[in-house]
Structure 1
């Protein structure tokens, strides 16, 4: 995909990976960046930073993706005023960590509402218009946890697995309309969201900047699935050729009492 002179919309742009992607795309000679998130102040701060580095037009859209009516109205208006949009990057997401048996139903609902339904809502609106113009690229930011489920992250893993399936289905459906659909699957990334979680043993977080640069490179090469870092490739190889070993590693690495893992008992 050629990025120059395109209009891109990024959800979850106020922090973490979304913010890093916005800064990376600002160096690619885009025409317009539309930044979407709930935090108006952080979006304004990011817009000022981008405009100090580039002549790109930056539009700030404070928006809660779980509010369907507001999303419909805002996206339609943004398309009319700043479109057409050639690149949609769905990065908004939330993660809560706990053992499944101690899951807070409100937190579970929040993860499903934003990670899955929020992505579905805005993607449907923009994909329809991309099909009409016969051009576009949609990037769904999933996670390595969308391929390899992690203990203590059951709901988050479920939403990210769902995003992978959603992406694969859309890829097949929209390809005849010249709309590409891409998965970005980073492993553990050092963001403010992750800093509130108990980290997995043996896993070294990568930077959000590294994830953003991998996305830009992957888009330019036309990749359908973009993984970041050697840990991701190693985990996927292990899952394919030695799934029992991966399960053992996850049981050891997971931030939960060792006595709960059947493998610890086996290897005492």
Structure 2
């Protein structure tokens, strides 16, 4: 895929992987970038960096979990900057907590941002891509969309769902000349994970490396883009020796936070 002269919309573009993808696309000669996130100030800072490279940058500060606002915004964007050739769904949130400590609001937030927000935007953009007969959709999942991680049950669930969503869309939209790609980075050094209790032996990779892997994968028309040698090793281990992967995950899982005790009265789990 040649990205020169294209227009891309990137969610979660104010920081982390989304920001790195935006900057990498700008370096690769894309025509225009539409940057979407909730933080207006950070978006403006990224836009300034991109414009310094000679690439047009449009910012949209919006909450993707609000369908009506997203619908109006997409209609306006398409009217002003159409067509959008590439959609990168990168917006996401994550929390690390033992399942027995987790609360419903945490689940609702991760489902709303990671899944419902992605679904809303994708449905609006994909319909317009179908009408034009071309487009590329990139959904950022994770290695945790292939290998579930203890202490990250909710996040893993959303990333598994994103991968399934991507695989289904790939088959449905192929007849309309629309490519649907899954990007699966391993643990990445972003603001979102810096307060996490990291898994043993796991060294985070840089967002820039993830962005570069995406560009390489798009050029090769790869349907799934795994990033990091740890991702490839984990997938092969899962296929060939799942029992060994279970042992490794058990040994690598960080210990519970101090002060946490399992409930001793089973009735406390039903409330």
Q: RMSD over aligned Cα, in angstroms?
A: 1.2
Corresponding residue for residue 263 of structure 1: none
The match for 1:244 is 243
- Partner of residue 223, structure 1: 222
CA distance in 2, matches of 1:25, 1:180: 17
Normalised by the length of structure 1, the TM-score is: 0.95
Is the 2:50–2:56 Cα contact (8 Å) retained in structure 1? no
Q: Which residue number in structure 1 is paired with residue 49 of structure 2?
A: 49
Question: C-alpha offsets along residues 125-156 of structure 1, whole Å, 9 cap, x if unaligned?
Answer: 00000000000000000000000000000000
Q: Does 1:14 align with 2:34?
A: no
1:1-268 aligned at under 5 Å gives the runs 1-52=1-52, 54-257=53-256
Separation (CA, whole Å) in 1 of partners of 2:23 and 2:197: 28
Query: In 2, Cα distance between the equivalents of 1:208 and 1:6?
Result: 22
User: By how many angstroms is 1:31 displaced?
Assistant: 1.3
Listed one character per residue, the Cα deviations across residues 104-135 of structure 1 (whole Å, up to 9, x for unaligned) are 21111100000000000000000000000000
Which residue in the other structure is 1:265 paired with? Answer: none
Q: Structure 2: how far apart are the matches of 1:179 and 1:196? A: 38
Structure 1: give runs of 5+ residues left out of the alignment. Answer: 260-268
Q: Secondary structure at the match of 2:27?
A: coil
Asked if structure 1 preserves the Cα contact closer than 8 Å seen for 2:34 and 2:59, the reply is yes
Contact 1:152 1:256 in 2 (8 A): no
Quote the offset at 1:180 in angstroms: 0.4
Shift of 1:256: 2.4
Tell me what 1:266 maps to: none
In 1, Cα distance between equivalents of 2:112 and 2:255: 26
SS in 1 for 2:2: coil
- 2-side partners of 1:256 and 1:109: how far apart? 25
**TM-score normalised according to structure 2 size:** 0.94
Instruction: Verify the 8 A CA contact 2:10 2:89 in the aligned structure 1.
Output: yes
1:76 deviates by 1.0
* Superposed CA offset, 1:40-94 (max 9, x none): 0000000001111x21111000011001111100011101101100000000000
1:213 shift after superposition: 0.3
Task: Identify unmatched segments of 5+ residues in structure 2.
Answer: 257-261, 263-271
